Amino acid sequence: MNSQQALLQINTREQIEASKTTRVPSGDFVTDILLVTSPTNARSPYMPFYYLYLAGYLEAKGYRVEIADPHERTLKSNIKLILEKVKQTKPRFVGLAAFVTDYNVMVNLAKSIRNVTLAPIIIGNAHPSVTPSDFLYPNSPFDIAVCGEGEATCEEILERYHHHDDLGQIKGLAYLSREDKVVVTPERRFLPGNEWGKPAYHLLDMEFYSRPTKYLIRNLYTRTAVIYTARGCPFKCGFCAANAVWEANSLEGSKLVRNRPMESVMEELALLQNHYKFDFFYILDDTFGLREKDVYDFCDAYKKSGLKMLWGAETRVTCVRKKEVLIAMKNAGCIQLDFGVETGSPTLLKTIDKAIKVENILLGFKNCHEVGMRSFANMLINLPGETTEDLDLTYKLLRKIKPTYTSFGVTQPYPGTPFYKKGGFTFGKEAYHKLDREVPPEEFRMAQHKLPLEITLLQFRLRFQQFGLVEQGLFKGPWRYWTQIFRSARRRQYLWYFIKQQVNVPVIFARMLFRYYKLVRTGESAASIKKHEWQVAAE
């Protein structure tokens, strides 16, 4: 029995607690850190970006890193695979990442991991950045919460943590003191873009992540890689916790936007096209296009690189005020831009601090149409103080701007968002699981109107989300999209995906219609919905 096997025998709570306060186990570890993705997200086409950069950074510093990222269909089988990987990789540290919605799952997963290793468990990502105390309490399976940007903090933990008392010396984290108090250590400076790690794609199952999907460049069937050219966001939209995450470990506040050097971006794109054979990529920066010069620089560099992938990006309507910017993007291979429009109500745009006006939305979409750029509008209902008049304004706006595709969501007061604070929400651990629903329970209603949220959501979806017997948004794809698909080395995968989707789409549509009529048949909901329909029709 080697020392690691010996450690696996020790798993009583007292021994674990003792190990926490006395020493970090030492022995013949195979891996410095095993990063574990959330088993609730196992089938998502989104790679775990947070680990890609973190792992790349740590590997460049000489650490042995592994990622446990199973893709089974059930939670149980994913957890089983994770535990096997823990045993197999014998890590010095285990890292987990938590969003507020999967809190209970992550706590239970950490407890199970605790039963197979004594390695300290580090928790990072949005949830512990906002409320580290949710993870740090007596007998918690978590040892350390990393707040905000994680690279430098994690490196220092791997380097310096040999004893519980070392934690107080490391910036950017939180831990439970011997007196059972949550201690948050001071913040550090952001990592400059040229120090980010190269995303460690080789640690993931890239076959899984390079399958065709319609959820990346949304509603186009593509094999898409997601990249970041910058981090940070100067805005503070009421429904978003991004600022709280970055702010959690920053001497520079939350608003600093940090760019990555262009050579490194191009190098990554070349790898994605030439090695991993992606046909498309998507830029998921918090605010791509914020600085016009950056867009031109990116487009020039991409054109010069001779790479052939087509791409999409998430941006803001204010970034496409000028048609020239859109033309530059289009000439560099951009086929779709996604915008957070959220609402058509000027009052609500102010309430949510979106820092855009209805005129900006109208102009942005007009420019997209004129230039021939596909446009995607993200909309929200259940915004604070929302009235039926506001919903009608949204309806009218969408009729005017005619996005190529529109999606609707119900706003939820995630901890860390301005809505959570300003809305006077005080719920904690006991209620997080309720945020994991498409339509939240009544206690999270922020709208003033009393319309049933699910019916309102379905109404908008049925009207604007272009559901039907065939996938309509798809056929508004530009020619070069189709050419790219026909030229792809993975044409067969695309064909198979097309067939599957063309069967799925009418089924989804039928289910939605059925659900809608079932809800509307029930008393009070039907009355309010009819009134709303009348208002909408009277535009």
List contacts with ligand SF4 (CB under 6 A).
Answer: 233, 235-237, 240, 242-243, 286-287, 340
Interface with ligand B12: number of residues (CB under 6 A): 40
Residue closest to 379 by CA, chosen among 357, 406, 399: 406
Contacts of 353 (CB under 8 A, 6+ apart): 235, 236, 237, 238, 418
352 belongs to the binding site for ligand B12 (CB under 6 A): no
Measured N-to-C along each axis, helices 491-520 and 453-464 cross at an angle, to the nearest 10 degrees, of: 130
Q: Least distance (Å) from ligand B12 to the CB of residue 233?
A: 6
Report d(CA 426, CA 411) in Å as an integer.
Answer: 17
Q: How far is the CB of 188 from ligand SF4 (least distance, A)?
A: 21
Alpha-carbon span 411 to 73, nearest angstrom: 28
**Contact call for residue 299 and ligand B12 (CB under 6 A):** no
268 lies in the binding site for ligand B12 (CB under 6 A): no
Q: Is 240 in the site for ligand B12 (CB under 6 A)?
A: yes
Instruction: Give the position of tokens 């019916």.
Output: 455
CB of 298 to ligand SF4, least distance (A): 18
Handedness of CA 481, 486, 488, 490 (dihedral sign): positive
Check if the beta carbon of residue 211 is closer than 8 Å to that of residue 223.
yes
Selection from ligand SF4, ligand B12, none that 97 binds (CB < 5 to 8 A by kind) is ligand B12
Residue from the set 32, 66, 102, 268 that interacts with ligand B12 by CB under 6 A = 102
Q: Pick one of ligand B12, ligand SF4, none as the site partner of residue 287 (Cβ within 5 to 8 A by kind).
A: ligand SF4
Per CB under 6 A, 101 contacts ligand B12:
yes
Q: In what order do the strands lie in the sheet with 91-97?
A: 65-68, 31-36, 91-97, 121-124, 144-146, 173-176, 182-184
For ligand B12, the closer CB: 203 or 401: 203
Q: How far apart, in Å, are the Cα atoms of 515 and each of 503, 521, 536?
A: 19, 10, 21
378 touching ligand B12, by CB under 6 A: no
Query: Which of ligand SF4, ligand B12, none lies near 340, with the C-beta cut-off 5 to 8 A by kind?
Result: ligand SF4
Question: Rounded to the nearest whole angstrom, what is the least distance from the CB of residue 292 to ligand SF4 in the complex?
Answer: 17
* Nearest distance in Å: CB 189, ligand SF4: 21
Short-list 203, 190, 200, 201, CA closest to 230: 190
Closest CA to 131 of 18, 248, 47, 301: 248
User: 123 in the Ramachandran plot: left (φ > 0), alpha (ψ -120 to 50) or beta?
Assistant: beta
Taking the CB of residue 282, how many other CB atoms lie within 10 A of it? Answer: 19
In angstroms, how far apart are the furthest CA atoms of the chain? Answer: 78
Which tokens go with 368? 């997209």
Ordered alpha helix ranges (H), 161-280: 206-209, 242-247, 262-270
Pick 339 or 494: Cβ nearer ligand SF4: 339
As a whole number of angstroms, the distance between CA 273 and CA 280 comes to 8
Residues β-bridged to residue 95: 35, 122
Give the C-alpha separation, 142 to 95, whole Å: 10
In the complex, minimum distance from the CB of residue 534 to ligand B12, in angstroms, rounded to a whole number: 32
Name the one range near ligand B12 by CB under 6 A: 78-86, 143-151, 160-168, 250-258.
Answer: 143-151
Exactly one of 150, 212, 340, 403 binds ligand B12 (CB under 6 A); that residue is 150
Pick one of ligand B12, ligand SF4, none as the site partner of residue 290 (Cβ within 5 to 8 A by kind). none
How far apart are CB 350 and ligand SF4 at their closest, in Å?
14
Q: To the nearest whole angstrom, how small is the minimum distance from the Cβ of residue 30 to ligand B12? A: 18
Q: If DSSP codes are grouped into helix, strand and coil, which group holds residue 259?
A: strand
Q: Could you give the dihedral angle defined by the CA atoms of residues 98, 224, 194 and 248, in that order, rounded to the nearest 10 degrees?
A: -20
Which of 284, 439 has the CB closer to ligand B12? 284
Which tokens go with 439? Answer: 């339509």
229 binds ligand B12 (CB under 6 A): no
**Binding of residue 384 to ligand B12 (CB under 6 A):** no
Q: Single out the residue of 414, 460, 467, 509 in contact with ligand B12 (rule: CB under 6 A).
A: 414
Q: What residues are paired with 93 via a beta bridge?
A: 33
Task: Print the binding letters for residues 194-223 with ligand B12: x by CB under 6 A, - otherwise.
Answer: ------------------------------
Interface segment toward ligand B12; rule CB under 6 A; list 127-135, 181-189, 452-460, 493-501: 127-135
Closest to ligand SF4 by CB, 319 vs 474, is 319
The distance of closest approach from Cβ of residue 103 to ligand SF4 in the complex, given in angstroms and rounded to an integer, is 21
Q: What share of the chain is helix, strand, coil (3-state, %, to 5)?
A: 50, 15, 35
Question: Helix, strand or coil for residue 224?
Answer: strand
- Of 80, 92, 88, the C-alpha closest to 19 is 92
Footprint (CB under 6 A) of ligand B12, residues 45-84 = 46, 48-50, 53-54
User: Looking at beta carbons only, is 74 or 483 nearer to ligand B12?
Assistant: 74
Q: Which of ligand B12, ligand SF4, none does residue 154 bind (CB under 5 to 8 Å by kind)? A: ligand B12
Task: Return the C-alpha torsion angle 352, 49, 189, 178, nearest 10.
Answer: 100
Q: Which does 235 bind (CB under 5 to 8 A by kind): ligand SF4, ligand B12, none?
A: ligand SF4
In whole angstroms, the minimum distance from the beta carbon of 366 to ligand B12 comes to 27
User: Any contact of residue 124 with ligand B12 (CB under 6 A)?
Assistant: yes
The binding site for ligand B12 (CB under 6 A) comprises 35, 38, 40-41, 44, 46, 48-50, 53-54, 95-97, 99-102, 122, 124-127, 129-130, 146, 149-151, 154, 240-242, 245, 284, 286, 414-417
